[in-house]
Copies of this chain bind each other. A is one copy, B any other.
């Protein structure tokens, strides 16, 4: 098992990514000072002793592939949600897996699941561990023993250049998959913020969406075939661009979040590697008119591959965090004032592909942007966004160090109800922060666009007194989720359900929907060992 980062957070090969002094000053000005709250030392993390595992489980993967060192157990004890990170950094982990097991191939997964089912050992499938909804937490529920199954050895890859598809193992990380594909001149085009650490299996299990998904398609829309190894056996769909043979079991495997079995193989559509990438910034008059521009782009088949619109607060914060200061910032301010867009909202638009197609599509897109009242800022903000696109999780580490709570959540709705949803969720988060006595900040961007609607991606940020992190987080999270449900939005556009959204599943799919999913689970995982406590309400 390689070490993608520090045990207590995201990191990047051990490097830190500190906020600039200007950014910290802005933060203090906006939400006040906080009490620095660095991660404890690994030695100071206390863990329950691991329960010993049955021999059959050790035999399934081989003794050398059963890891029980503290560092391994801690690294697999949480994902990357705010409460996960707080538990890690504070050393107050309630639990950790008894062991991390590393099956070397699919056959070992099959034998392992069989052994775990016989011995009543709970199984948490683990890819990159980047779930932000508690999806890899070691929730034992009724089980005495629990293992985290690290899938990083399942990294096979093959490409069908003619059909533009690839067959990928679940353990490939984003960069590993792209390296394999690049050797064949193709790309998956799937670039979520978790790209550097998340895996193919996780993208499929949690229905990931990437920053360029308006163009390349969400991960689930790229999957053409999937194989799930469940305790009850193998479930495999056929290799075909489409089938009308009944309900889609591929669409049941996708989003199953480890609760039905382990996804051991997926076929995905790929594209030729782009000849060119062109990203640029625009300023729309306000968030609503920015969203209206995106609606027109989507409905007129003129969507760029990346399109995002920040609301006013996010626009202000992102200009601050990007470190644009001094002369450049004054010039930008003067330009925007001149064009009547001082209070405007940043739009990032990006096109990728063959030169000629990009030129054609970009001309179309720019026409719609201008028609909607947006003013071009040129390539520089586009490049800045592109270069910083994986920086979010590292910035979060820094903010947690400084003693701030920072969390994100996302939802989606039709165009007709998007602004209502936006206002309701923003106000709910702001209200909950104020109610807890925090001078918090909430901001949002429109993150993925469709012909019929779009997703909204919210971030909130507030100083939090040490020790009160989880309680405050819970109050804000609940207010936001309740507002989403009341406004008719979906509880998650691409983060998944995990543990944090379980109680909203009945709103999402009705009681009978939950029962239908439970019926599938009982058939595929009769002893209920697969990722307990996730996805399905009891």
Contact = CB atoms under 8 A, between A and B. Distances in A.
A451 B520 CA distance: 31
Contact of A248 (B239, B240, B254, B295): B254
A518 to B, nearest CB: 8
Interface in A388-408: none
A455 B232 CA distance: 33
Contacts of A234: 510, 512
A157 to B, nearest CB: 17
Given A234-B510, A234-B512, A245-B508, A240 B414 contact: yes
Interface in A237-288: 237-249, 251-257, 269, 272
A416 interface: yes
Contacts of A238: 488-490, 507-509
A451 to B, nearest CB: 6
So how many copies of this chain end up in the complex? Answer: 2
A142 interface: no
B251 A252 contact: yes
Interface in A125-179: 160, 162-165
Interface stretch (A95-103, A378-386, A467-475, A494-502): A494-502
A412 interface: yes
Contacts of A295: 162
A211 interface: no
Contact of A249 (B243, B451, B517): B517
A512 B242 contact: no
Contacts of A516: 235, 249, 252, 520, 523-524
Nearest to A357: B301
Interface string A51-77: 000000000000000000000000000
A459 to B, nearest CB: 18
A245 B411 CA distance: 10
A454 B413 CA distance: 32
A93 interface: no
Contacts of A257: 246
Nearest to A410: B244
A492 interface: yes
B249 A256 contact: no
A448 interface: yes
Contacts of A209: 242, 244
B414 A512 contact: no
Given A233-B511, A249-B509, A517-B249, A415 B163 contact: yes
A60 B21 CA distance: 72
A246 B451 contact: no
Contacts of A512: 230, 232-235, 523-524
A299 interface: yes
A125 B56 CA distance: 50
Contact of A255 (B220, B247, B488): B247
B513 A523 contact: no
Nearest to A495: B244
6 contacts: A163-B452, A238-B489, A240-B490, A243-B412, A244-B494, A246-B517
Given A238-B507, A245-B509, 4 more contacts: A218-B242, A245-B490, A246-B256, A246-B517
